[in-house]
Chains A and B, each alone.
Chain A
């Protein structure tokens, strides 16, 4: 069974960074891309970027190029996203998502990590 288990809620002060994790079980993360998506309170979904864990190649949405950094550790089957220079506008739930071993994009999602930015 494929599971994407995300790390717990984060409270970050403005100007600091947080690093979120997404630990995968049920498939080898080297086999497919990992995507990250956010959802601000009461708002829709927004694609942040994706990483190819096999080689570390990344693609970001333009507005997240200086905000998010995606990495992956194939030895622990875990993907990471670091958010830097936190602002109140970064308060959101952040999801990781992948196709797992299926042929269907975004088939599997983590449960989400709430990041709250507050002084």
Chain B
């Protein structure tokens, strides 16, 4: 199975901060990666498709990038509504595998 190593597992940041979360793939997954946001008691919401494409309705302060086997989700200027858990998912190969998740909290 492809392992997705996500970091950090948790972080705290201030409003207006630039925040970056990373997933590293153990094998080549191309751009077959989705970033999800999940708020407490809610289902995951897709934020970024195909590593870099913003999902419908997602604010432009969110962006996705790739450098080799490292995939990043960046929030350019943190807002209070962005406090949530974030998960990456690779779907290049079965089984699809998630990263361990990142809990983003307000400092």
Contact = CB atoms under 8 A, between A and B. Distances in A.
A110 B43 contact: yes
Contacts of A105: 34, 49, 91
Contact of B100 (A44, A59, A106): A44
Interface size grouping (class) on chain B: 20 to 34
A39 to B, nearest CB: 9
A107 B46 contact: yes
Contact of A106 (B1, B38, B89, B94): B89
B8 interface: no
A43 B38 CA distance: 12
Interface in A57-83: 59, 61-62
Interface in B18-76: 34, 36, 38, 43-46, 49, 55
B98 A44 contact: yes
Interface string A104-119: 1111011110000000
Contacts of B55: 104, 107
B96 interface: yes
Contacts of B89: 45, 47, 106
B7 interface: no
24 contacts: A35-B96, A43-B101, A45-B38, A45-B44, A45-B89, A46-B98, A47-B96, A47-B97, A47-B98, A59-B94, A61-B95, A62-B95, A95-B44, A97-B43, A104-B46, A105-B34, A105-B91, A106-B36, A106-B44, A106-B46, A106-B89, A109-B44, A109-B45, A112-B43
Interface of A: 35, 43-47, 59, 61-62, 95, 97, 104-107, 109-112
Given A44-B87, A62-B95, 18 more contacts: A43-B101, A44-B99, A45-B36, A45-B87, A45-B89, A45-B98, A47-B97, A59-B94, A61-B95, A97-B43, A104-B46, A104-B49, A104-B55, A105-B34, A105-B91, A109-B45, A110-B43, A111-B43
